[in-house]
Amino acid sequence: MKNRMAILFILGVVIEAAAFAWLIEYFGFFKTLILALATTVIGIAMVQFEGRKAMNDLKLLAESGQPPGRKLVDGVCIMAGGAFLIAPGFITDLIGITMVFPLTRPLYHRAAMRWIEKRMKNGNITFYRR
């Protein structure tokens, strides 16, 4: 597991560096820098808006006594997307924006739900009720 994470991290850095190099060659250094800053600012604004919306939805579900389910996965996707947006790079920004944007978030919902179901079947996730 550690070796796979290290390889993914190194591969991610190499891909980000290649993307930066290509964009600098195509647009120039200053335009690429402005684009990188713009994607970060736009992403942070999206995270704030979608995060507030998700928190309000979770609060309403909790007050009505309903299980959070998909809304909780929404919140996790928004948090993870925010982490990707904070990380420097265009590929991570693209992943982060797709995790935060409501129309593309369901792509990650399916993967997250499959991961949770697999963990529950294996007994790696336990729910405690009061």
Residues of the chain with pLDDT under 70: 1, 125-130
Domain, as residue range, for 52: 2-122
**40 within domain boundaries:** yes
**96 within domain boundaries:** yes
> What is the distance, to the nearest Å, from the Cα of residue 92 to the centroid of all Cα atoms in its chain?
9
**129 within domain boundaries:** no
**80 within domain boundaries:** yes
DSSP 87: S
**127 within domain boundaries:** no
Q: pLDDT tens digit string along 63-80?
A: 888 877 788 888 888 989
**130 within domain boundaries:** no
Distance CA 24, CA 108 (A): 30
**106 within domain boundaries:** yes
CA angle 104, 107, 111 (to 5 degrees): 150
Q: pLDDT tens digit string along 41-50?
A: 888 898 999 8
Our count of domains for the chain comes to: 1
**9 within domain boundaries:** yes
This prediction's pTM: 0.78
Contact 50, 77 (CB under 8 A): no
- Confidence at residue 112, expressed as pLDDT on a 0 to 100 scale: 83
Distance CA 121, CA 112 (A): 14
